[in-house]
Amino acid sequence: MSICLRLFFASCALLIFYSSCSFGQKVNYDRYRLLEVTPTTEYQLDAVYALHKRFKDELDFWLHTPTTDQSAYVTVKPTIYREFTDQLDFLKMPYKLLLDDIGQEIASDRVSKEERKKLGFFEVYRTMDEIYEFITNLTKKYPNCASLVNIGTSFEDRPLRVIRISTDPEQLKHKPMVWIQSGMHAREQIGPAVATYLASKIAALCRKRGATRKLIQKFDWYILPILNPDGYEYAQNYDRLWRKTRSRQIFTKCVGVDPNRNFGFQFGDENNGSSSEPCSNNYAGYRPLSEPETRAVVVYMTNIVRDRMELFLDFHSFSQKWLTPYGYTITLPQHYEEQVYLARIATKAIQKYNGTKYTIGTSSHSLYPVNGGARDWAYHVMLGTHSYVVELPDQGQYGFILPRRFIYPTAAETWVGVRAMALELIDLMSMDGYSSD
């Protein structure tokens, strides 16, 4: 047997072994704490990076590692909590305990199967099957303007399902379009809930009259509620804080790729928000579009979207930020002023409705660097002038485990913002001389 063939069989054996090891073990977060850490000097900042390196497997920095002008949110294993906080105290670094027991917080939000049936759809985080059944029912309720399309399958063979909404289904591919997606990062479960709610409100316009009906007369809407269905299901059933896809990587036990580092535009700069380390939460993959999920989105959008995308919204959590391009560079995009103007329309409407405040800016300035991201790809390649990442609530108190009591308020206020933004965009499109080029 040749050396190449032996290596091939060895890699297959490793892949099978690690695949079998990656399922069925529920991750326990009992007594894990969530801290807000705020270094105020460069010395403190360097010390936090050193602690992060020292306790690599015991700390998980949510959103980003800290800077001297931004706090970081970090989960701490119970085994090193005392030592970690002693170090923070020694450094005289401000920190705040936000959650004393993440596992208890997760458990308190669980709902039995019997209770799920009694609750309203947006009173609990729904499974993939429940979300798909819900949007399927929308197409049955509004058959003249809503339809489903499977744009591909995930690594574990789950469907990626898009609901299309338009008053002129025969004219699809001709009108300007809006693309909404969510569920890219598995633990950000508020995103799919919000996207599904938006689908319900937009589909309901099919039977309404008045000013808002022009939202579906002027635009074709495409909504992908769960871009990463494998990760979403894994987070619901095994590891509530799982982030990546569930693809298996050769020669490592680590699983998954960060889909928002896997798009083809500006892929793979390790110093700019992604990693080549398969165990990292920001692992970009071994090549652009290595993941069937990102590949499916790119192929589908390339076929139907190019040159007619007016609005691209990618829902994530958390931090309450409405983020414009770019993520990969601090250079402002050509259409930055237009992007900020429209984002202000949305965020002001949300604040007026519910008091929730969003900040606006580029990802690289306002949050952290991101290369290989979907939003930059949509703006630069798909020519979607108004392309945004929306980091939904909250601002850190619960972070990725936002309690289910916040689902409906978050979804309702987001609809108010998206509606205001889309209506303003229609007015802009009607102006003489308007161009999104």
Using CB atoms within 10 Å of the CB of residue 42, give its burial: 0 to 12 exposed, 13 to 18 middle, 19+ buried.
Answer: exposed
Cβ contact 234:172 at 8 Å? no
Q: Distance between CA 250 and CA 121 in Å, rounded? A: 40
DSSP string, 94-114: -EEEEES-HHHHHHHT---HH
334: number of Cβ within 10 Å: 12
**Token reading at 58:** 């015991």
Query: How much is the CA Rg of the chain, to the nearest whole Å?
Result: 22
177: number of Cβ within 10 Å: 22
- Give me the catalytic one of 36, 233, 310, 391: 391
Q: Distance between CA 425 and CA 376 in Å, rounded? A: 20
CB half-sphere exposure, 331, CA atoms < 13 A: 5
Would you call 123 a catalytic residue per the annotation?
A: no
Q: Distance between CA 264 and CA 372 in Å, rounded? A: 6
Q: Distance between CA 73 and CA 397 in Å, rounded? A: 9
Residue positions annotated with a catalytic role: 391
